[in-house]
Structure 1
Amino acid sequence: MSRFKLYIEYIGTRYSGWQMQKNSRSIQGKLYEAAKKVFDGEKLEIYGSGRTDAGVHALCQIAHLDVKTMLAPEVIRMKLNDELPGDINIIEVEKTNKDFHARHDAVSRSYIYQISRRRTAFGKQFVWWIKDKLDFEKMKKASKLFVGMHDFASFSDDDPEEKSTKVLIENVEIKEEGDLILIRITGSHFLWKMVRRIIGVLVEVGKGKLTENDIKKYLSENSNEPSRFTAPPSGLFLENVFYEHGKVSKELSALINIKSFKGKK
């Protein structure tokens, strides 16, 4: 049995999320179906670095594949891609040691969220269009309150797979590009719906409906209020999963054609 590390990108619009579930279409499920065809009945296992919610996209999800095969990594990549639908793509396959675990060995993860301040015909499935005027500077200032170790119980639903609701947020970056507002959040891990609720709360700050004091309250005591502001999954992308070696920082930039967002509103 050999272990391979998979680098995967996908559009999450048509899927119930990463994790395989009964009677629903998932990214992990599609990969498993493709691998069963490629390896023709061989016993195999596929584990991801973590879940993504229904409708959420990935620029680089990491998974590991256990299977008995003599195929080279590049051949595995091509054969899997031949069996996968067009909205899931294996970027790279590399052989790794048997001790590597896509989830347990990850030290941090980053997500990017795209907010559009105008209606778009082409990027609808990749942004959250907000009609209200947003105060970018207020959002940027408030975003720094999330940095550090905090209890994010107010920003997640109950999840039996999570033993603790404390999460270390390493950095929050926010910038403007044309009519887009881009937000990158990097942290040790993320709870169910946590990123989308952070985004939703920041948007309410931008609208002038919430203040920095509200955020401090949500982080210091358990509240159901952030659930009302959960951002849609369309604008959210799992950007990267970082391991002990090979962590890189990149400039925060738009994921869709920025030229189309520089015209008239």
Structure 2
Amino acid sequence: MGKFKLTIEYDGGRFKGWQVQEDARSIQGLLIKAAKTVFETDKVEVYGSGRTDAGVHALGQVAHLDVNSKMPVRLIRQKMNDLLPHDVNIISVDSVSPKFHARHDAIARSYIYQISRRRNAFGKHFMWWVKDPLDVEKMNQAAAHLVGFHDFKSFSNEKGTEKSSKVELQQLKVVEKGDMIIVHIVASHFLWKMVRRVVGCLVEVGTGRMDPAKFKEWLEAPSQEPAQYTAPPAGLFLERVYFPGEQVSKEFKTLL
């Protein structure tokens, strides 16, 4: 079978997430359906680098496509995009080794979270409008506690599983861009709802309602407290997926 690497962007607002679900609209499901039509076969497999939840977007999700075809990558991209809705777009298609795996081979993922300081007529579905003034310096003080290899169980919704909650968080920075505040986070992988809970707690610090030192406490002793501050999905974007040979960048892209 041929194997192809797909780089995809999507607006997650009208989807129940990345993963195929019965009786629910998913990104993976639409890609599989389009591929089956393009290649005229049911023998198609599409695997993503990771799952995004309902309402979460992507600027650079990566998936691999397994299909028995020698169709040029340019035509694959064109034909599949012709079948996909306006809120899903394949940016690029590349031929890759049969051993390539979008999830297992990824060495890091980066997310951005867009926070607006003001009401915005165009960004309702792509940002979180926080009305309270935010102290970005204090937010970065709190963020510094999380960088490194830690147990992020306090920031995860992973319950009743044997999955490890330890994560190598490589970068976490809060940056001001005009009326926007961008949270940029890079890690080896992410736990379910981890980014949204980190962002929600950072906002609490920014408003002055939370001490930055709480972050250190939650790493040392698991707590359910961060769950109540989970940020809404609308502002969250999977920004990029990194593979061997690619250097993790401190720069990032935003939608707006």
TM-score, structure 2 normalization: 0.97
CA distance in 1, matches of 2:169, 2:200: 17
Say yes or no: does 1:228 pair with 2:231: no
Question: 1:11-33, CA deviations, whole angstroms, 9 ceiling, x for partnerless residues?
Answer: 10001111111111110011111
Question: What's the counterpart of residue 140 of structure 1?
Answer: 140
Contact kept? 2:4, 2:95, Cα under 8 Å: yes
Question: What's the counterpart of residue 156 of structure 2?
Answer: 156
Shift of 1:213: 2.1
Please, which runs of 5 or more residues in structure 2 have no aligned partner? none
Contact kept? 1:114, 1:236, Cα under 8 Å: yes
Question: 1:126-168, CA deviations, whole angstroms, 9 ceiling, x for partnerless residues?
Answer: 1000011111111122111110011111111125676200001
Question: What's the counterpart of residue 12 of structure 2?
Answer: 12
Distance 1:123 1:85, change over 3 A: same
Distance 1:221 1:248, change over 3 A: closer
Say yes or no: does 1:56 pair with 2:56: yes
Contact kept? 2:6, 2:92, Cα under 8 Å: yes
Question: What's the counterpart of residue 121 of structure 1?
Answer: 121
Contact kept? 1:159, 1:192, Cα under 8 Å: no
Percent identity reads: 57
For 1:1-265, what aligned pairs fall within 5 Å after superposition?
Answer: 1-159=1-159, 163-247=163-247, 249=249, 251-252=251-252, 254-256=254-256
CA distance in 2, matches of 1:157, 1:100: 29
Distance 1:197 1:242, change over 3 A: same
CA distance in 2, matches of 1:16, 1:173: 28
Shift of 1:185: 0.3
Distance 1:162 1:98, change over 3 A: farther
Distance 1:68 1:161, change over 3 A: farther
Question: 1:234-253, CA deviations, whole angstroms, 9 ceiling, x for partnerless residues?
Answer: 11110000000233525345
CA distance in 1, matches of 2:7, 2:160: 27
Q: Which amino acid aligns with 1:199?
A: V
Q: Which amino acid aligns with 2:137?
A: E
Q: Which consecutive aligned stretches of 4+ in structure 1 deviate over 4 angstroms post-superposition?
A: 159-162
Please, which runs of 5 or more residues in structure 1 have no aligned partner? 257-265
Q: Which amino acid aligns with 2:12?
A: G
SS at match of 2:213: helix
Shift of 1:215: 1.0
Question: 1:59-100, CA deviations, whole angstroms, 9 ceiling, x for partnerless residues?
Answer: 100000000112111100000000000100000101111111
CA distance in 1, matches of 2:157, 2:10: 25
Please report the RMSD computed on the Cα atoms of aligned residues, expressed in angstroms.
1.3
Contact kept? 2:6, 2:65, Cα under 8 Å: yes
Question: What's the counterpart of residue 260 of structure 1?
Answer: none
TM-score, structure 1 normalization: 0.93
Shift of 1:117: 0.8
